[in-house]
Amino acid sequence: MDAAELLQSYSEGQHDFSGENLRGICLNRADLINVNLSRCDLHGAELVFAYLSRANLQGAKLNHANLSGAYLAQANFATADLNTAQLHGSVLYRANLSRANAIFANFLDASLAEADLRGANLASANLRGACLRQANLSSPRQGGDRVTLRRADLQGADLQGADLQGADLCWADLRRANLRGAKLTHSHLTNANLSQAILDEANLSDADLSAAILHRAHLNQAQMVRAVLMDTDLTDAHLNQANLTAAKASKAIFLRCRLREAQCTRADLSLANLRQAQLPQAVLQEAYLTKADLRDADLTAANLLKADISGANYTGANLSGATMPDGRVGS
């Protein structure tokens, strides 16, 4: 079937073209709202600025297809093959991309707000500047398909309020991304780059951030209970009122970090670099600070009751009003 035949049939009221071979078809700017193209072979198809809102593209082969600027709101791409597809600046508001394969797909500046991406494979995809507010990228704790964003380029992406629970974000580039209020519990962020990212009020409890880079990231009031921060670099990050209870932050770098009123009860901060960190009124009760570097840190009115500070270096630290491990208050 060629483009003219398809458009003619569509204009006559036929909407079901499921399973058709439409390889390389050119339907730029075509009006195909609500069309059924499920299981179609659309390899290399040209669909620039096409109107495909609420279209059914379930299981369609769209590799190398060009859907730049296409209107795809509420379209169904479940299990579709979008590997290397071009979706630059497309409108995918509330689209269903669950279990879609989109490796190396280009979603630059695309609008994916409230989209369903559960179980999607977006490894190495370009999602720079994409809007994924309130998108569902969650993965089941056990079994089922996990969302893969491994090595994806998410620089400047907007993931505010997105559900990324259990997602694989290892090696992802999330520099300057907005993850305010995002759900990241049990997510895998090993070696991810989150420099200057906004993570205020995000939930990172039980997340694995080993060796991740969070230079100047904003994590104010973030939940990081039991988060793994081994060798994580948080230089100049803002963690005011963050909850790091029982976090595993051995050898982590908190250089010049702002941790005002942070909750670090039972956190493992052994060998951590907290030099020049600002920790006024921080709660470090029962924390492991063995061999931690606290030189020139501000621990004014901090609570270190029962903390293990053996071998810690706090030369030049301000401990006025701080409750020491033995219960004495520092002068």
Task: Considering the complex, state which of residue 164 and residue 307 has its C-beta at the smaller distance from other proteins.
Answer: 164
Is the torsion defined by CA of 239, 240, 245, 246 positive or negative? positive
How far is 140 from 151, CA to CA, in rounded Å? 21
Interaction of residue 156 with other proteins, rule CB under 8 A: yes
Residue where the block lists tokens 């209020």: 181
Task: Considering the complex, state which of residue 83 and residue 265 has its C-beta at the smaller distance from other proteins.
Answer: 83
Q: Taking CB under 8 A as the criterion, which residues in 44-73 touch other proteins?
A: 48-49, 64, 68-69, 71
Smallest gap from Cβ 100 to other proteins, in A, equals 16
Q: What burial class does residue 143 get, using C-beta atoms within 10 Å of its C-beta: 0-12 exposed, 13-18 middle, 19+ buried?
A: exposed
Interaction of residue 146 with other proteins, rule CB under 8 A: no
Interaction of residue 173 with other proteins, rule CB under 8 A: yes
Q: What burial letters (b/e) apply to 47-83, b meaning 16+ CB within 10 Å?
A: bbebbbbbbbbbbbbbbbbbbbbbbbbbbbbbbbbbb
Please give the size of the binding site for other proteins, defined by CB under 8 A. 43
Q: What is the dihedral of CA 94, 95, 98, 103, to 10 degrees?
A: -120
Binding mask 185-224 for other proteins (x = CB under 8 A): ------x----x-x-----------------x--------
Interaction of residue 158 with other proteins, rule CB under 8 A: yes
Interaction of residue 298 with other proteins, rule CB under 8 A: no
Nearest to 134 by CA among 159, 156, 117, 157: 159
Token code pair at residue 85: 């597809």
How far is 11 from 52, CA to CA, in rounded Å? 14
Task: Considering the complex, state which of residue 175 and residue 304 has its C-beta at the smaller distance from other proteins.
Answer: 175
Interaction of residue 123 with other proteins, rule CB under 8 A: yes
Task: Considering the complex, state which of residue 89 and residue 166 has its C-beta at the smaller distance from other proteins.
Answer: 89
Token code pair at residue 112: 């994916």
Please give the residue ranges that form the binding site for other proteins (CB under 8 A): 48-49, 64, 68-69, 71, 84, 88-91, 93, 103-104, 108-111, 113, 123-124, 126, 128-129, 131, 133, 150-151, 153, 156, 158, 160, 171, 173, 176, 178, 180, 191, 196, 198, 216, 236, 256
